[in-house]
Amino acid sequence: MPEHDVEFSRFVVDRSPTLLRLAYLLSADRAGAEDILQTALIRAYLRWKRIATNPEAYVRRILVTTAVDERRRPYRRRELVAADVPDLPDDAEESAYLDSKDALLAALRSLPPRQRAAVVLRHWVGLDPAQVAELLGCSTGTVRSQTARGLDKLRASYAHPNPEEGAVR
């Protein structure tokens, strides 16, 4: 196997779990996350010689670009229609935890793509506002305001999982 392919395979094996989590947070969609990561990694392979010094930054940039630009998303899968309602858990504490997580996910999905990307890049990846601004093509002030609004929604949804309590606006 050529050295280029060996390096690429090693990168995919080592970094895919983290990159898939990032793709999931950016898209708030399991299937969509796999799609955009696959697209990003194939593009990385095609430019490997030029990006080999820091392939992760390149892949991250493609993930962000694809996730925030609705037109570039391979396709969108939001909800599955099911004939039967799944069984509800009996345990009240477990149920509350699941409610919180579901509400959190719903809140993440409800954020506009760029706001979601700002929150994830700033507070999960740990980039500074200037780096996030560069990736999103906006000012640091916009990053700060978008991040603050997005986080407010997420915190509220986790604290008050029931929408009737006014958590998710």
Partner 1 sequence: MNDHDLLDLLAAEAPEPAPDHAERLLLQARHTRHRRRRLQLLAGAGATAVVALIASLAVTNSAKHVVSNNDPATSPTVSRQQTDPAGPIPEPAIYAVVIRALGGEMQPRVGHWPVLYVVDHTCDNVAAPTRGKCDAWPLSAALRTGLDAGLASYGPVTFVPNTSAVTDSHDLHIVHGGILIALGPVQLNGRHAQVQVSIVHGGKDGRGATYQLTGSGNHWRITGNDGAAWIS
Kindly list the residues in this chain that would bind partner 1 in the complex (CB under 8 A). 5, 8-9, 12-13, 16-17, 20-25, 30, 33-34, 38, 41-42, 45-46, 49, 101, 104-105, 108, 119-120, 123-124, 126, 151, 154-155, 158
Q: Closest Cα partner for 36 from 72, 12, 89, 85?
A: 72
Q: Cβ 12 to partner 1, closest distance in Å?
A: 4
Q: Cβ 105 to partner 1, closest distance in Å?
A: 6
Q: Given CA atoms 106, 109, 155, 26 in this order, what sign does their dihedral have?
A: positive
Q: Cβ 41 to partner 1, closest distance in Å?
A: 6
Quickly tell me which residue has 């390096």 as its tokens.
7
Q: Cβ 56 to partner 1, closest distance in Å?
A: 15
Q: Cβ 29 to partner 1, closest distance in Å?
A: 10
Distance CA 138, CA 76 (A): 25
* Cα Rg, the chain, nearest whole Å: 18
